[in-house]
């Protein structure tokens, strides 16, 4: 319709809506006027007043029908009808406050669990990049045998940028790195999170700086020339109190001077899910930030540190981009066979990247969504059952309405309005619960991220989540309301009017109810199984242990680059540090390691060729994770060396290269043989020769749930690393060693900051135990809610069945049935239903177990104990829910039962 | 809703708009006018008159106000709006087209 038209019609509709009584009066008056004229005319034509009146009415063809027709003309009857329905529904719901409250609470639990979970899943998977037109931004990945989502090197990035035509710009960024920041030259540097990005980063993403400017393309051309930095919005607020004069100021990053040229807008906290970089630097400044000293960032084509994204040109399809990049990857392979053999490339959308099978967020999202939906399903079936019972108790009312001409559709609408009101109340309460869950998640902020880097939990109750929750509430209204509404309006009028409660011949009606019971029992069984499996899987992994000693350990991290040490000074510092803390009071042993086990940062990777190993034709090397440690590491961490030796002080930069591998690695490449004495070559067949001098026991490296993985240790003396963590084994409380370490560091360099100083066991508790425990609590409460709802639902259904059959039971008992017969009669059906539910629930439980095993735990087979615990207890509890009403039925006195109703 | 039985569908709207275009009127007067101008050819039941008027009013084509009749009785008088005038023009044009086309066809068959 034309907007101009609305100008006229909207006031008219509003008038019909809000001045309803007035409009009705006018309608009456108008028709009355007409009738009077007509009667006058009739009398004038010689009719008696009575005849004239009669004729006038007849000419109208039914006055009331006309009025109704005129009301329909107002085009608002759908709304007025709805308001009438709503008023009626509220009145009838408030007549049964207990039932209403139960239904609302049930729905609230279901919707709340789901909306809390959705806030998590949305942040992890669905939420688009915070940039304009985010759907055009795709991710380019390098693919190998071992990883389908590898990064690109700087050289490769330049080639992609120069040789592709599918994009309006190709951007690159390195990982967010720990960077030493100081606003004043004299201040001790503090650790902040910085990210190196390409010069066109902000421009291509369409992010307009809030202050100053983004990088220019030419600021990313010459290595080391343009020391400029763009601040993140939060960082600017925290460190500079949102001071606009920060532009042009000089700050120090890792000791080098950088000029602030801009501030990113609030709307752009970065492209990462958890991390929000404090500042951005151009890639060309990599020499200030790069951690990998073995490779040259600007030259080595296999120094793959860059995540590459691009904005697709409008009209270019993903396939075209894919094909173009595949050709480019083929060219790389022929031009640089050494570093690119059997290496491909692919283009993925954001959604594809976030739903990749090896992504932990995706796995968690899937599992939690399944569980939350199961809770919602149980809640909905519960409510549907209750509404069904309620609707049946109203059979006579509905029959009367149908008999005096109400349309079936109109009645269904009335009943659906009722469930819509219930769902709205439940939805609002549910969103409150969901918000509570989000707050609960956020309260673990400091537990989960024990790091100096700017990470935060991104789960929010924002508009997206609110809308989804409301949609869920509406959907559950339909789910719970439709079946009862359809069924209860299909009444046999004659019988319906005769008795308050009719049993329609045939078993069709009971079918729906039975499905509800089965669905409830099976869904709650699955929920319980899942929570039990999770708890047990977690305990199993905890019991299995990590393979090293966690107690009596102090950890302190150092990064001498923060005070501008060069490589030689850095290694001298670590050498002296180790020597001096070793003899400090209370120190039993000392270790230096690049990464701590089960820490937040990932271990480095290493490419190698086992010497004398026949490499498959299509691959250049194998990959493994690695750590750089000093000679005290294995002893201090309590990691047993099962064969050969650990590192010695005699393994120096000048002696021949050595490495220690773990048992898994040894078994992998030399099954049945002895790895000690064997050699590997780094990078390729022509690479540096490294002798394996020892085999260490396999421990847990990245997470408590991981499967055993290959691992290589390199000695610090031969593989220098700038950022190292000192681990000290103490005889007493490890925190008592903090002061002695401080003293030692002061003698070496009073300006060098000590980072991350804490007892390893505390760190481990938070990092590896507390995080999974939060997930378990959530799953556990889902299981508990599911079970309680299922029990309540089953009890309600059986109790209702019994009350409906009271008369029948009375007759049976009057005819001589014993109370045990009645018990069997009532229980028998419940048993069958619970049995069916259990079988289906078991099947679903197995499915969930397989899913969880493949995704979260390293456990292989079926956890029999979990089922032995869950299935009988659920069976018992549900049987009890059926037994109580059944027993009541069996004790009914026949005289009383026959008088019932 | 019952349709005016002896009227081509939609023509009642056109008739009402046309009548009101001549002068504002109340419902009773309209029913008299309808009878007088169309003779007995077009039978418009009084019952369908008011729903039709209401529809036109809700479409915004006519507007109503309460006024005194010549016998000093309060009655609802309808008059055409600007929008209604446009509607009348287009419906009249439509009707012209349709009727001339139909009569053309009818004549063809006789020839």
- The pLDDT tens digits of the residues spanning A368-422 come to 888 888 888 888 888 888 887 777 777 777 888 888 877 788 888 888 888 888 8
Q: Are strands A256-263 and A228-231 parallel, antiparallel or unpaired?
A: parallel
Contacts of B31 in chain A (CB under 8 A): 34
Beta carbons of A305 and A153 less than 8 angstroms apart: yes
Q: Could you tell me the pLDDT band of residue B109, with boundaries at 50, 70 and 90? A: low
Greater confidence (A330 vs A533) lies with A330
pLDDT band, very low/low/confident/very high, at A259 (cuts 50, 70, 90): very high
Q: How far, in Å, CA of B105 to CA of B99, rounded? A: 10
Quick one: pLDDT at residue B1? 39
Positive or negative, the Cα torsion across A113, A116, A118, A120?
negative
Do A445 and A510 lie in one domain? The reply is no
Residue A726's pLDDT is 95
DSSP-H helix ranges across A545-653 = 567-582, 633-637
Closest partner CB to B47 (pick from A7, A26, A60): A60
* Whole-number percent of chain B with pLDDT over 70: 82
Interface test with A, best of B13, B35, B54, B66 (most A CBs within 10 A): B54
Q: Which of A160-169, A216-225, A446-455, A599-608 has the highest mean pLDDT?
A: A160-169
For the ranges A210-214, A226-230, A254-258, A855-859, which has the lowest average pLDDT?
A: A855-859
Residues in contact with A199: Cβ distance below 8 Å, sequence separation at least 6, in sequence order: A215, A216, A217, A218, A219, A220, A221, A282, A283, A284
Q: What is the DSSP track for A149-165? A: SB-EEHHHHHHHHHH--
Rounded mean pLDDT, A443-462: 75
Q: Which of A692, A691, A683, A597 is nearest to A636 (CA)?
A: A597
Using DSSP's 3-state secondary structure scheme, residue A643 falls into strand
What is the spatial distance between Cα A313 and Cα B76, in angstroms, rounded to a whole number? 64
Predicted confidence at residue B8, as pLDDT, reads 62
Reported as type and span, the H/E element at residue A391 is helix A360-393
Beta bridge partner(s), residue A610:
A680
Task: Enumerate residues 477 to 536 of chain A having a beta carbon within 8 A of any beta carbon in chain B.
Answer: none
- Under the banding of pLDDT at 50, 70 and 90, the label for residue A646 is very high
Of A9, A34, A70, the CB nearest to B28: A34
Residue A1 clears pLDDT 50, i.e. is over it: no
Residue A27 in any domain: the answer is yes
* Residue that is written with structure tokens 């729905």 in the block: A107
Q: Are B60 and A5 an interchain contact pair (Cβ–Cβ within 8 Å)? A: yes
Lowest mean pLDDT among A3-12, A207-216, A692-701, B77-86: A3-12
Cα A194 to Cα A191: distance, rounded to the nearest angstrom: 9
What's the pLDDT at A288?
Answer: 83
Segment among A136-150, A584-598, A659-673, A847-861 with least mean pLDDT: A847-861
Provide mean pLDDT across the span A512-516: 75
List all residues of chain B from 65 to 94 with a beta carbon under 8 Å from chain A: 66, 73-76, 81, 83
pLDDT band at residue A75, thresholds of 50, 70 and 90? low
Query: What average pLDDT does the segment B73-99 reach?
Result: 88
Q: Say yes or no: A97 and A60 in one domain.
A: no
Asked if the C-beta of A74 comes within 8 angstroms of chain B's C-beta atoms, the answer is yes
Looking at residue A593, its pLDDT comes to 95
Q: What is the pLDDT of residue A861?
A: 59
Local confidence band at B39 (pLDDT 50, 70, 90 cut-offs): low
The answer on A409 and A331 residing in a single domain is: no
Q: In this model, does residue B55 exceed pLDDT 60?
A: yes
DSSP string for A511-548? HHHHHHHHHHHHHHHHHHHHHHHHHHHHHHHHHH--SS
Both tokens assigned to A115? 């909306």
Asked if residue A255 and residue A190 are part of one domain, the reply reads yes
Tally Cβ neighbours within 10 Å of residue A439: 12
Between CA A94 and CA A715 the distance in angstroms is 75
The tokens for A644 are 């050969």
d(CA A509, CA A211): 68
Confidence of residue A147 (pLDDT cuts 50, 70, 90): confident
Express as a percent the part of chain A with pLDDT over 90: 29
A113 plus A174 within the same structural domain: no
Instruction: Report the C-alpha gap between A651 and A658 in whole angstroms.
Output: 7
List C-alpha distances in Å: A293 to A289, A559, A566: 10, 14, 11
Average pLDDT over residues A449-457: 74
Tell me what the pLDDT averaged over chain A comes to: 84
How far is Cα B30 from Cα B11, in angstroms, rounded to an integer? 15
CA distances from residue A868 to A363, A689, A838, A872 in whole angstroms, order as listed: 27, 54, 13, 7
Percent of chain A with pLDDT over 70: 93
| Least trusted range by pLDDT, from A306-310, A502-506, A734-738, A882-886 | A502-506
**Between B63 and A803, whose confidence is greater?**
B63
Which among A29, A66, A73 is the nearest to B55, CB-wise? A73
Judgement on whether residues A317 and A363 belong to the same structural domain of the protein: no
Q: How far lies A818's CA from each of A611, A824, A900, B56, in Å?
A: 85, 10, 19, 73
Report pLDDT for B111: 52
Overall number of domains in chain A: 4
**Residue A288: inside a domain:** yes
Q: Any CB–CB contact under 8 A between B1 and chain A? A: yes
| A553-558 and A755-759 beta bridge pairing | antiparallel
Helix (H/G/I), strand (E/B), else coil: A190? strand
Q: To 10 degrees, what angle do helices A864-890 and A771-804 make?
A: 30
Nearest to A645 by CA among A633, A655, A628: A633
Distance (Å) of CA A577 to CA A319, A592, A635, A655, A747: 55, 10, 18, 22, 10
Confidence of residue B75 (pLDDT cuts 50, 70, 90): confident
Task: Indicate if the pLDDT at residue A793 is higher than 80.
Answer: no
More confident residue, A859 or A306: A306
Are residues A66 and B81, on separate chains, in Cβ contact within 8 Å? no
What burial letters (b/e) apply to A662-700, b meaning 16+ CB within 10 Å?
Answer: bbbbbbbbbeeeebbebbbbbbbeeeeebebbbbbebbb
Pairwise CA distance, residues A632 & A649, whole Å: 9
Per the CB < 8 A criterion, the answer to whether A767 and A599 are in contact is yes
Q: Are residues A62 and A82 in the same domain?
A: no
pLDDT(B42) > 80: no
CA count, 13 A, side-chain hemisphere, B28: 19
Tokens standing for residue A187 = 């201040």
**A514 and A429: one domain?**
no
pLDDT of residue A66: 78
A538-552 pLDDT, tens digit per residue, is 777 777 778 888 889
Does the residue A565 lie in any domain? no
Residue A261 pLDDT greater than 80, yes or no: yes
Closest partner residue to B28 among A33, A62, A75, by Cβ? A33
Put simply, whether B106 touches A (Cβ < 8 Å) is no
Distance of CA A794 to the CA centre of its chain: 31
- Which DSSP state fits A275? B
Q: Are A843 and A871 in contact (CB under 8 A)?
A: no
Domain that holds residue A65: 3-75
Q: Which positions ≥6 away from B87 have C-beta within 8 Å?
A: B17, B59, B61
Alpha helices in B1-81 (DSSP H): 11-22, 27-38, 46-59
As given in the structure block, the two tokens for residue A52 are 């004239």
State whether residue A856 is helix, strand or coil. coil
Contacts of B55 (CB under 8 A, 6+ apart): A73, B13
pLDDT digits (tens, 9 = 90+) for B12-38: 888 888 888 888 888 888 888 888 877
Most confident range, picked from A85-94, A509-518, A847-856: A85-94
Q: Specify whether A862 is located in the same domain as A812.
A: yes
The pLDDT assigned to A502 comes to 47
Q: What is the largest CA-CA distance in chain A?
A: 135
- Average of per-residue pLDDT across A450-470: 81
Over residues A28-41, mean pLDDT: 85
The Cα–Cα gap between A317 and A314 comes to: 8
Residues of chain A contacting B55 with CB distance shorter than 8 Å: 73
Closest CA to A192 of A251, A264, A265: A251
Q: What is the pLDDT of residue B5?
A: 44
Same domain? A386 vs A308: no
Q: Is the CB of A774 inside 8 Å of chain B's CB atoms?
A: no
Q: How far is CA A244 from CA A192, A193, A206, A212, A263, in A?
A: 21, 21, 22, 9, 9
Tell whether the model's pLDDT for residue A195 goes beyond 90: yes
Do the domain assignments include residue A64? yes
- Tell me the sheet residues that pair with A34: none
Provide the token pair at B11. Answer: 């023509």
Residue B3 has which token pair? 């349709």
DSSP A259-274: EEEEE--TT---SSSS
Structure-model confidence comparison of residues A673 and A696, the more confident one: A696
The residue ranking higher by pLDDT, A759 or A14, is A759
A77 CB neighbours in chain B (<8 A) are: none
SS3 assignment, position A861: coil
Bridge partners of A604, per DSSP, are A626
Cβ-based neighbours of A383, under 8 Å, separated by 6 or more? A103, A106, A107, A419, A422, A476, A480
Decide: residue A366, CB within 10 A, 0-12 exposed, 13-18 middle, 19+ buried. Answer: middle
Q: In 3-state terms, what secondary structure has residue A130?
A: coil
Verify whether the Cβ–Cβ distance A5 to B83 is below 8 Å.
Answer: yes
Helix (H/G/I), strand (E/B), else coil: A210: coil
Half-sphere exposure of A671 (CA within 13 A, CB side): 1
Q: What is the mean pLDDT of residues A511-537?
A: 80
pLDDT digits (tens, 9 = 90+) for A287-302: 888 766 667 888 888 8
Task: Tell whether B11 lies on the interface with A, counting CB pairs under 8 A.
Answer: no
**Cα–Cα nearest to A819, from A764, A888, A743, A738:** A888
Q: Which two tokens stand for residue A216?
A: 């220019």
Q: Are residues A202 and A84 in the same domain?
A: no
Q: What are the residue ranges spanned by the domains of chain B?
A: 11-110
Which fold would CATH assign to domain B11-110?
Answer: Arc Repressor Mutant, subunit A (1.10.10)
Tell whether A379 and A416 lie within a shared domain.
yes
Rounded-to-integer distance, Cα A324 and Cα A313, Å? 13
Flag whether pLDDT at A249 surpasses 90. Answer: yes
pLDDT reported for residue A817: 81
How confident is the model at residue A388, as a pLDDT? Answer: 77
Strand A304-312 to strand A167-182: parallel, antiparallel, or no bridges (unpaired)? antiparallel
The answer to whether A9 contacts B60, with C-beta atoms less than 8 Å apart, is yes
pLDDT of residue A2: 55
Looking at residue A453, its pLDDT comes to: 76
Q: Check CB contact under 8 Å for A33 and B26.
A: yes
- Rounded to 10°, the helix B46-59/B82-110 angle is 120
């Amino acid at each position: 319709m034309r907007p101009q038209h609305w100008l006229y019609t909207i006031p008219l509709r509003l008038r019909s809506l809000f001045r309803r009584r007035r409009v009705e009066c006018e309608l009456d008056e108008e028709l009355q006027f007409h009738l009077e004229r007509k009667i006058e005319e009739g009398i004038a034509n010689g009719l008696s007043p009575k005849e004239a009146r009669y004729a006038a009415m007849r000419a109208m063809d039914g006055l009331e029908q006309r009025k109704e027709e005129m009301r329909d003309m107002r085009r608002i009857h759908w709304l007025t009808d709805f308001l009438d329905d709503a008023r009626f529904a509220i009145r009838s719901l408030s007549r049964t406050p207990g039932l209403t409250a139960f239904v609302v609470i049930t729905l609230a639990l279901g919707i709340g669990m789901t909306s809390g979970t959705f806030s998590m899943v949305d942040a992890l998977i669905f939420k688009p990049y915070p940039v304009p037109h985010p759907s055009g931004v795709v991710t380019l990945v390098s693919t190998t045998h071992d990883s389908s989502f590898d990064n690109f090197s700087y050289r490769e990035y330049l080639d992609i940028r120069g040789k592709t035509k599918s994009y309006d710009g190709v951007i690159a960024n390195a990982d967010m790195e720990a960077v030493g920041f100081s606003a004043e030259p004299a201040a001790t540097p503090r650790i902040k999170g910085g990210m190196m990005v390409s010069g066109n980063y902000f421009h291509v993403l369409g992010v307009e700086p809030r202050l100053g400017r983004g990088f220019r393309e030419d600021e990313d051309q010459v290595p080391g020339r343009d020391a400029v930095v763009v601040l993140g919005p939060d960082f600017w607020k925290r460190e500079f109190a949102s001071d606009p004069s920060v532009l042009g100021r000089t700050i120090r990053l890792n000791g080098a001077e950088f000029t602030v040229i801009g501030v990113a807008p609030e709307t752009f906290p970065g492209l990462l899910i958890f991390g929000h970089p404090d500042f951005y630097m151009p890639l060309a400044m990599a020499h200030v930030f790069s951690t990998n000293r073995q490779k040259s960032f600007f030259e080595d084509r296999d120094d793959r540190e860059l995540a590459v994204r691009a904005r697709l040109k409008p009209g270019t399809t993903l396939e075209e981009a894919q094909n173009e990049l595949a050709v480019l990857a083929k060219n790389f392979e022929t031009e640089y066979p050494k570093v690119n053999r059997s290496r491909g490339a692919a283009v993925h959308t954001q959604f594809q990247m976030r739903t990749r099978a090896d992504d932990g967020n995706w796995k968690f999202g899937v599992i939690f969504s399944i569980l939350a939906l199961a809770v919602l399903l149980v809640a909905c079936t519960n409510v549907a059952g209750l509404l069904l019972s309620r609707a049946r108790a109203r059979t006579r009312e509905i029959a009367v309405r149908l008999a005096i001409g109400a349309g079936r559709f109109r009645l269904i609408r009335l009943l659906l309005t009722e469930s819509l009101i219930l769902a709205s109340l439940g939805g609002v309460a549910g969103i409150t619960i969901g918000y509570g869950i989000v707050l609960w998640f956020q309260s673990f902020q400091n537990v989960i991220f024990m790091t100096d880097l700017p990470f935060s939990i991104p789960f929010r109750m924002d508009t997206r989540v609110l809308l989804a929750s409301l949609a869920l509430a509406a959907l559950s209204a339909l789910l719970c309301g439709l079946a009862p509404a359809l069924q209860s309006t299909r009444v046999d009028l004659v019988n319906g009017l005769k008795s308050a409660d009719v049993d329609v011949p045939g078993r069709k009606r009971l079918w729906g109810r039975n499905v509800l019971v089965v669905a409830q029992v099976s869904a709650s069984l699955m929920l319980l199984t899942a929570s039990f499996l999770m708890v047990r899987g977690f305990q199993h992994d905890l019991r299995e242990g990590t393979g090293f000693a966690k107690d009596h350990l102090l950890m302190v991290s150092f990064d001498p680059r923060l005070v501008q040490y060069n490589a030689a000074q850095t290694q001298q510092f670590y050498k002296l540090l180790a020597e001096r803390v070793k003899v400090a009071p209370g120190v039993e042993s000392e270790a230096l390691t690049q990464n701590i086990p089960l820490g937040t940062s990932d271990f480095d990777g290493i490419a190698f060729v086992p010497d004398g190993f026949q490499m498959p034709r299509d691959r250049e090397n194998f990959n493994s994770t690695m750590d750089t440690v000093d000679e005290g590491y294995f002893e201090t961490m309590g990691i047993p060396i099962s064969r050969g030796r650990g590192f010695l002080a005699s393994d120096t930069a000048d002696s021949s290269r050595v490495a220690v591998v773990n048992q898994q690695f040894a078994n992998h490449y030399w099954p049945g043989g002895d790895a000690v004495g064997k050699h590997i070559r780094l990078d390729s067949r022509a690479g540096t020769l490294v002798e394996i001098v020892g085999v260490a026991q396999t421990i847990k490296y990245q997470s408590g749930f991981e499967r055993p993985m290959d691992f290589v240790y390199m000695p610090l003396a031969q593989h220098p690393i700038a950022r190292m963590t000192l681990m000290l084994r103490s005889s007493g409380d490890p925190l008592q060693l903090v002061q002695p370490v401080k003293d030692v560091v002061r003698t070496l360099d009073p300006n060098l900051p000590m980072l991350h100083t804490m007892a390893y066991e505390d760190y481990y508790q938070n990092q590896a135990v507390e995080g999974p425990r939060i997930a378990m609590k959530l799953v556990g409460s889902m299981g508990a809610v599911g079970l309680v709802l299922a029990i309540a639902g089953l009890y309600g259904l059986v109790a209702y069945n019994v009350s409906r059959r009271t008369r029948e039971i009375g007759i049976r008992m009057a005819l001589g049935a014993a109370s045990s017969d009645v018990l069997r009669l009532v229980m028998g059906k419940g048993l069958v239903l619970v049995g069916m539910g259990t079988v289906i629930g078991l099947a679903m439980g197995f499915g969930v177990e397989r899913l969880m095993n493949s995704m979260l735990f390293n456990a292989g087979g079926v956890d029999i104990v979990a089922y032995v615990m869950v299935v009988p207890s659920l069976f018992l509890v549900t049987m009890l829910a059926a037994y109580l009403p059944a027993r009541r039925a069996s004790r009914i006195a026949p005289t009383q039962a026959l008088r019932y109703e | 809703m019952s349709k005016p039985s002896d009227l081509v569908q939609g023509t009642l709207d056109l008739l009402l708009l046309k009548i009101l275009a001549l002068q504002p009127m109340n419902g009773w007067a309209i029913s008299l006018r309808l009878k007088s101008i169309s003779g007995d050819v077009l039978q418009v039941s009084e019952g369908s008159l008011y729903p039709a008027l209401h529809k036109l009013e809700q479409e915004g084509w006519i507007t109503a106000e309460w006024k005194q009749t010549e016998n000093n009785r309060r009655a609802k008088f309808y008059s055409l709006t600007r929008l209604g005038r446009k509607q009348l023009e287009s419906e009249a044009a439509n009707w012209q087209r349709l009727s001339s086309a139909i009569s053309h066809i009818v004549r063809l068959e006789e020839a």
